[in-house]
């Protein structure tokens, strides 16, 4: 499998030193991509709709209503996500996948416990950018943005909740979730994350040919929720638990 270079300088996970070949795929393999692909796809999980996911827009956060963050906070978040999984000559990254949009929506549902951490920490990061470079985070050149994110990872940004390095780890994991989740949940727009990893998509059954082809299978570009069987199963499980979740 051809490797793709990750232009960001960050080392993953926090306990590791900077790898000699920090490819995006090595990063995602270490993070457990299977879990990222499946995030939110459990029938018992909270559901986040993505009504406008097929709409072709160049700046989704600017054109879609935010559920948790302010416009300024969302801009900082999107810029950080773009640094963590950047687009390059091999394909799109977290920005194109709408990872920041996924995070904003998740903070109103299954990641609601992290909501206060984001509201506090995104403000702290922007203030740190002003102190260090005299400009807002989104107005800095990429190299300075990356140096600030490195400082975040190294626990050097004051005012973050629950702490600079801990928030970095949280944000990094959520960025991966948003890039590679089922598109139903607001990220992985146009299946760019699944295509990046050569993941063929959700299949409720597989033929012998599918098994033999593995990652070489033709992408089906379907959400689990495009399948009526899965949707009914999710609704039945939610009803049996007495919940009011959508499915």
CA distance 197 to 217: 12
Say which residue, 149 or 217, is predicted with more confidence. Answer: 149
Nearest residue to 40 (alpha-carbon basis) of 142, 159, 178: 178
Residue 242 has pLDDT above 70, yes or no: no
* pTM of the predicted model as reported, rounded to 2 decimal places: 0.71
Q: Is 174 exposed, middle or buried (0-12, 13-18, 19+ CB in 10 A)?
A: buried
Nearest residue to 48 (alpha-carbon basis) of 111, 130, 91, 94: 111
Predicted local distance difference test score (pLDDT) of residue 10: 52
Predicted local distance difference test score (pLDDT) of residue 151: 97
**In the chain, which ranges are E strands?**
none
Average pLDDT of the residues in 234-240: 70
Predicted local distance difference test score (pLDDT) of residue 131: 97
Which residue in the block uniquely carries the two structure tokens 């943005």?
145
Per-residue pLDDT band for 201 (boundaries 50, 70, 90) equals confident
CA distance 101 to 193: 14
Token pair listed for 246: 């959508």
Residues 6+ apart with CB under 8 A from 3: 21, 23, 25, 26
Average pLDDT of the residues in 78-96: 92
The domain locations on the chain are 25-240
Token pair listed for 14: 């926090």
C-alpha torsion sign, points 85, 215, 211, 230: positive
Token pair listed for 206: 């597989």
pLDDT tens profile 32-68? 444 444 444 333 333 333 333 334 445 555 557 889 9
pLDDT tens profile 139-191? 999 999 999 999 999 999 999 999 999 999 999 999 999 999 999 889 999 99
> DSSP readout, 115-137?
HHHHHHHHHHHHHHHHHHHSS-G
Predicted local distance difference test score (pLDDT) of residue 90: 79
């Amino acid at each position: 499998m051809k490797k793709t270079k990750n232009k960001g300088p960050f080392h993953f996970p926090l306990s590791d030193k900077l790898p000699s070949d920090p490819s995006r795929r090595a990063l995602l393999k270490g993070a457990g991509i299977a879990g990222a692909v499946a995030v939110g796809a459990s029938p018992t999980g909270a559901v986040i709709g993505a009504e406008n996911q097929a709409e072709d827009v160049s700046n989704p956060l600017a054109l879609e209503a935010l559920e948790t963050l302010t416009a300024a906070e969302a801009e900082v978040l999107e810029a950080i996500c773009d640094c963590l999984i950047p687009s390059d000559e091999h394909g799109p990254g977290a920005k194109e996948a709408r990872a920041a949009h996924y995070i904003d929506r998740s903070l109103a549902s299954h990641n609601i416990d992290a909501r206060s951490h984001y509201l506090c920490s995104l403000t702290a990061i922007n203030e740190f950018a002003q102190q260090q470079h005299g400009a807002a985070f989104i107005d800095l050149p990429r190299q300075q943005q990356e140096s600030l994110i490195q400082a975040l990872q190294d626990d050097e940004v004051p005012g973050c909740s629950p702490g600079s390095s801990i928030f970095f780890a949280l944000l990094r994991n959520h960025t991966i979730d948003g890039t590679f989740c089922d598109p139903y949940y607001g990220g992985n727009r146009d299946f760019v994350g699944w295509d990046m990893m050569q993941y063929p998509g959700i299949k409720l059954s597989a033929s012998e040919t599918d098994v033999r082809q593995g990652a070489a299978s033709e992408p089906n570009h379907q959400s689990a929720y495009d399948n009526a069987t899965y949707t009914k199963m999710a609704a039945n499980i939610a009803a049996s638990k007495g919940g009011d979740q959508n499915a």
